[in-house]
Every structure is written in C-alpha cells, then in structure tokens.
Amino acid sequence: MTDALNIAIAQLNPTVGDVAGNVARVRAARAEAAKLGSDVVVFSELMLSGYPPEDLVLKPAFQRRLHEAVEELRADTADGGPALFVTTPWREADKLHNAILLLDRGEIVGKRFKVDLPNYGVFDEKRVFAPGPMPGPLVFRDVRIGVPICEDVWTPDVVECIAETGGELILVPNGSPYEVDKTERRMQLGVARVVESGLPFCYVNQVGGQDELIFDGGSFVIGADRKLRVSLPSFREAVVATQWRRGAGGKWDCMPGTVVPVLPRLESIYQAMVLGLRDYVNKNRFSGVIIGLSGGIDSALTAAVAVDALGADRVRTVMMPSPYTSRDSLEDAAQCAGALGVRYDIVSIEPAMKAFAEMLRPVFGNRAADTTEENIQARARGVTLMAISNKFGHMVVTTGNKSEMAVGYSTLYGDMCGGYNALKDVYKTTVFALARWRNAHQPLGAMGPGGEVIPERIITKPPSAELKPDQKDQDTLPPYDLLDKILEGLIERDLGVEELAAEGHDAATVQRVWRMLEMAEYKRRQAPPGVKITGRAVSRDRRYPITNAFRG
C-alpha cells in the first residue's frame, strides 16, 4: 500500500486556443516535476484549451486537436515519469464535457467531468458544456483521489459524494478569476469543504490574463486539521512539489511547506492591471502600446502600469494639447514621461479644431459652442492616436476609469478609442490610491523604475478634461468620493434610489447618478475590453438593455 505521494502543483499561464503551446507548458511542468521527484502533476481547469474557451470549444476541429493533444501526453507518460491530472474539453457519448483525465504509464486511467456548470457573472458554461454525473474518486497508486472541478467545490454536494465513495484527498483544478479580496473567500471555501468531508484539500488555480479576466494563481493546500499547509505566489507561474503522507488511521495529509503571504489589497489590484495588460499585448502579438499622456492622473497611472508590464521601450506616449491645455499639464506630462523613461511626443490638435470649425460652420451657423466642440477635441485626439498606431503598430491603450465609464463621462470615438483599458474597472478614488502606492513601491516583477513615477502635482490637482476654460470634473459630477460610493451601491450591490437614500445619500443625487449610469450603457457596449478588478464590472458582469425605460 502506498503511504507517501509527491504531488506537483502546476500553476501555469495557458493561452486560449494555443493547444501546441499549452501542451509544451504541460511537458515543461512535467519535466520540472520529475526533477522534484513528483509522482503526479495536477493542472488548473481546461489547461489544454485555455480558460475560458467560450464558443471556440464548439468547433469540431478544435475538439479534434484537443483529443490529439491528450493522446500525445498519454504517450509521454509511458516513460515512467510523473503521471498527469490533465484538464481539457472532452467529447464522450456525443456530449462535450469540462473534464479532468488521469494519464499514467501510457494509459488514460480514468476521467471525471465537471458537474456544476456556472452560468452567472462572467461564466457561461451551460452554453457549451454538458454536466457530468456525480463523481467518485479516481484511483492512483492505490490512493483514492477526488478531483472536483472549480465550481464543484463552491457547494458541498460533489465533495460529499467523493467522501462517501471512499475519497482520501481532494485535488481541485480551478479557473477562478481575480476579484479584490477573493483569496480569503477561496480559503474559507476550502476550509468549509474540509470540515464537511474530513479530507485535505488542494486548490490549483490558473494564472494569467484572458481578455478582461485575470487569473491570479494563489494555489494552496489546506490540511485535514483545517490549517494552511502550502500556498503559491499570486500573479506568477510556479511548479511546486507537495509532500503527502498516510498517517494514523490511514488518513492522508499534506506536510507543511512554503506559505506565500497574501498580497495587500492595492498591490494585488496593481499586479492584476499589470498582468492583464501584459498578457493582452503579448498574447495578441502587439509590438507595444501608445498612450495619450494628458498630464492627468488616469493617463499617468496607465503609463506606469504599461511600463511595468512591458518595459519603457515598448511604451510610447503623446501629449496632444489644445488651447485649453494648462501649462501645468504640459509640464506634468513631460515630467511623468521622463520619470518612466518612455518616448514622449507632442502633437497639437489646434489645427484639427480649426479645420473642423471651418468645415462645420455652414451647418452649425451661429450656434454657441457646447459639448459638441468638446467632443471634437476628444475625437481629434482619438484620430491622432489611431494614426500613430496604424503607422507604427502600437496598440492604443485608453485611460478612462470605472467612475467615468459608469456615468458616461467619456467620448465615443474619442478618449474611448483604443484596444484595451487597464483602468476600466477601477474607481477614481482607487486610481488616486494606486498612484500613491506606486510612487512608494516598485512592484515585484515590474519592468519600470522605482521611486516617484507619477508627479505629486498630478495626484493633488483637481481632475479636469481641459476641454474648455477652467473646466473641472466636479462642474458636472458629484465629488468622486461620493460618486464612487453611490456607484458601488448601484453596480456591485444592485441597490435602488430608496435604499441608497436610506444609507444617508441625497436621493436627488442618487437619482441623477442612476440616470447617467443607465444612459451610458450604449457607450459601454462600444468600449474596449479592460481588466476586471471588482465583483461586478460594468461590462460582461452587468448586462443591462440599452433601450430601457425603467427609472427606479
């Protein structure tokens, strides 16, 4: 009877659709695990396809390639090296499943299929997968190992079934997207399943960016005594060997290993933004990015994230002044670019403004200037950035934050023009906090410099779009600390005007913010993707109708 197992946790960064690349990652992790003396390697959810594959997984050609990949890896295991708990979409009996397969000694030893398919928030698995039957454990070297998949452990039933059918330990492959403060929730979840089943619990999570989703890794093992045995780093790939022993009464447990501290809140948000932008740019094979550097805090923070993600040589910035651009903004943008070490160009949009005024005079006549002329400025800047992007191949990164995107404080085909947005799910008050945090810290793995990279005046001056003389954001918006609290209630908690008024907010202000939020839905539908940070982003998490007469 086996009394010891060395189980390698492979916390990797797959790319959706890159089956060959993902197989190469599995093989590299297996080779590393072999050096660590591992008996078996367990991977995160849908490792071979990448997660989430969405409707790509419905293509027969893609399914065939995945089957071929499994056969390649099955043949690999004939060499007597570590076995593989590999995860993949798998078609069987004319049904497509989210599956985990045990490959050992040249054979497919067993399969299990995900039971509980999530269909909320960013998840849409019932659209593409069929649920599997309630699973018992798989037997590996005489050890009965339960392998529930991700959502299967968010409720007790599947783990209970594994325990009742003789399971001795739990290995859980996951594709759990990042949200602020989610690490603690995952660990509490693991403790709950351990309490109910009496079995030790290993949680293996994906790392990397996939469009708007960020996977933060942070895999961990909880012992049968409900204590944390091992934890892996957040936002980084890792292959870690864990030691398991059969103890008194035949019960299995994991021996204590390295425990990596959970990142503080602001650092985790910043790292999510860096990883999201880096993977979006690199996985889509852009040479670099271009950012409109206005002298404001949003573009400065975006530039810092971009340099930390890609390095200064792949980041280009452009100041596009108008007659309303202040001397402070010109100085602050130049100082920020200098601190980050990026290329900085100045392209005035005043000639474009004059040209549009002349073009439109026969149509506009003597009508007074209003937001129309302000939007022309934003669109002139968008055209400028896209022209440079087309000419040199850099992707435009937009700089609007969640507060602005929520209430429509943005211009279609202007400041919303671009390929990705690192701040899309970051409230304005958090933008300020992140700017101060970045000035005080050089993030682990950052490619940018240490020290103050965002000039202090950018952080302290009142926010302004500078589209007309002496303009301030608070001319038309509530103060950001108030606005963000109202938006958090409306978006994250789905509260109405009366409930927020009961919490002490002015009902008329809440009603005005709600109206702005709803009216801007059509803009958000046309916005570029961006990093998901909170529990409910104003994109794929919150799908409101554009045509909507409800005013509650």
| pLDDT under 70: residue ranges of the chain | 1, 466, 468, 471, 473, 475, 551-552
- Segments of the chain assigned to CATH 3.60.110.10: 4-253
**C-alpha–C-alpha distance, residues 50 and 18, integer Å:** 8
**C-alpha–C-alpha distance, residues 204 and 84, integer Å:** 14
Class of CATH domain 4-253: alpha beta
pLDDT tens, residue by residue, 1-31: 688 999 999 999 999 999 999 999 999 999 9
- Segments of the chain assigned to CATH 3.40.50.620: 266-473
Q: Can 391 be counted among the known catalytic residues?
A: no
pLDDT tens, residue by residue, 250-273: 899 999 999 999 999 999 999 999
**C-alpha–C-alpha distance, residues 399 and 34, integer Å:** 45
Q: To 5 degrees, how large is the angle CA 145–CA 149–CA 153?
A: 90
Q: Can 150 be counted among the known catalytic residues?
A: yes
Q: Can 404 be counted among the known catalytic residues?
A: no
pLDDT tens, residue by residue, 368-384: 999 999 999 999 999 99
Is the distance from CB of 25 to CB of 206 less than 8 angstroms? no
CATH architecture of 266-473: 3-Layer(aba) Sandwich (3.40)
pTM: 0.94
Q: How many CA atoms lie within 13 A of 413 on its CB side?
A: 5
Question: 111, 114, 402, 428: which is the annotated catalytic residue?
Answer: 114
Question: 32, 111, 125, 150: which is the annotated catalytic residue?
Answer: 150
Count of C-beta atoms within a 10 Å radius of residue 66: 23
Question: 45, 179, 374, 518: which is the annotated catalytic residue?
Answer: 45
pLDDT tens, residue by residue, 335-345: 999 999 999 99
